[in-house]
Amino acid sequence: MSFTGKYELESQENYEKFLEAIGLLSAKTDSKVQTEVLQDGNAFTWTQSTPNWTWSNKFTIGKECELVTMKGSKFKAPVSMEGGKISVQFPQYLFTAEMVNNKLVMNCITPGEKGVTFKRVSKKI
């Protein structure tokens, strides 16, 4: 299933706990987050935005890619896909994304005993 489309936040769980865990609580916004995904085969452009902020990454499944964190730091990591689920190990959390019932479901999981799982579900617009 293709990820291509524009999506708007429908629900999220543990948002503030996740931002606190990665040291970004100041980035909290009550605005509706929009996500735009352009997929061309294994190549993706993934952009998230609110009225005052935009964050974008380009990556290719199966390759090590240079990516940018929400804090603006660059890093390199392989991007994989298994069973339709994209997976990327960011420096502070594991990011996964998949399509479930035509909705974009993203999870960010911080490591450790007191790890936080942030789940965001977005509907296609």
pLDDT at 28 over 80: no
Region 62-90 average pLDDT: 93
Give me the domain span that covers residue 53: 5-124
Query: Which three-class secondary structure state does DSSP give residue 94?
Result: strand
For 101, counting Cβ atoms within 10 Å of its Cβ (0-12 exposed, 13-18 middle, 19+ buried), the class is exposed
User: Is it the case that residue 33 has pLDDT exceeding 90?
Assistant: no
Tell whether the model's pLDDT for residue 122 goes beyond 90. Answer: yes
Percentage of the residues of the chain whose pLDDT score is greater than 70: 94
d(CA 11, CA 4): 20
Q: Is the pLDDT of residue 1 over 80?
A: no
Alpha-carbon dihedral angle through residues 35, 22, 15, 96, given to the nearest 10 degrees? 50
Domain of 105: which CATH number? Answer: 2.40.128.20
- Tell me what the mean pLDDT of segment 42-56 comes to: 90
Mean pLDDT over 17-40 rounds to: 83
Q: Coil, helix or strand for 16?
A: helix
> What is the pLDDT, as a whole number, of residue 39?
96
DSSP state of 112: S
Please give the mean pLDDT across all residues of the chain: 91
Query: What is the arithmetic mean of pLDDT over 33-57?
Result: 92
Number of structural domains, the chain?
A: 1
Q: Nearest Cα to 68, choosing from 82, 47, 43, 87?
A: 47
85 is written with which tokens?
């689920």
